[in-house]
Structure 1
């Protein structure tokens, strides 16, 4: 019995570690390739995540989910080529298309907008701040997830949001903040970044945790376990990058309010 409980508690550890490896792999690819290759990868992921979202929200016709995914990828590509006013129009186009294409319009429209904004911001962040910013972002999201997983499973305690995500605990959530702060401190020490990065990192991690919870709620509402089966044994693209969506969106929103101590290349 004891062995069975232990296996149940840590049964999804390989999946979590695989997710972390995928996220870190994206960071490695970015460090070595960057530029057009990184933009192409983000555009592809944006289209795939929009397709997965549409599939979960009961499209009015079977082809509409794929159509929205293609539209998202093309719109993001176009947004990178045009001036700011047209950028906003193209970014808003796929979310607006969800209104007519899907039954669950409100949820899909809001989350599709988050996917589009995160894709555009991720590419823009790479162009403006360089590879170090992307590595910092991905590392803190992964550290928050891994620390939160181990602390939550080991310590347990009160649930963070039991109605939406019954497995997440306050102990894991807070441990994730400490993990993100440690990543921020590491970049301050190694990159000579402003100390405010240590404060910003757990804020971004919290947004990532909320992004994970939001996607979990969408799946629970749709009655499914994974957003798709594109990644064999580990679910869909949206399952792996939901936290990154929340993290990037909060960087975008905070960036409108005041300058952020985002790491950049030396």
Structure 2
């Protein structure tokens, strides 16, 4: 594999960093700190991005934000990605039908990227903003890995870091098998997840945003063992869930998107969990069938 062009890699790093924090800008020094690019190179790359409209600069605050050229490129990208366009329509339909926030995410390298987020009228979201990235580290991303090959699963497990014993590895592998059996993922809320969300939201809004990515990875790895999903979905039980997710496969059989429901108003009963999971699977099948009907 050829080495990536350094300037191109740095441009992508800057765009990815700014995309993670919608609604706020960053100074040159903050971008340097957040991306790890040296000052001279970062300044040069930002100048090119500004010339092309991918980044704008506020003269008063001396801060940078994403520019209008990226919005235009995103509209073209949606038009050229019919599978994603159908996933967007399905996510909006599910939100309107069920009154539950929905989300479409994908995997880019070793990260999970929020691609589409359909919030409810009361402001609830499914938990991952458009452009926001989460580390593809166990137990995160299980809905993608459940249908992956052994090498990809091994790489995912390896990202959990040191101190993970064989019992934990077997537990996560069993969790992937349960997702395949059900055809959808049911992710239980970890005891630390609310505290983590509040902590990361505070970091993202303040001066610590430049450390956001590294701190998020540390927090996820610190979770330790907690029930990834219920062994059985009991109709009489209630479940405090982060999300329910179903896979969307491309024509080559790869799980390219995850169609999710999240941001639940409270614990939900087992019957409803099963109903929502089946509804997600049906929506995913409709997306894939419509995509294949194009031929």
Q: TM-score, normalized by length of structure 2? A: 0.26
Higher-Rg structure is 2
Larger helix proportion, structure 1 or 2? 1
Larger strand proportion, structure 1 or 2? 2
Greater relative contact order, per chain length (Cα 8 Å cut-off, separation 6+): 1
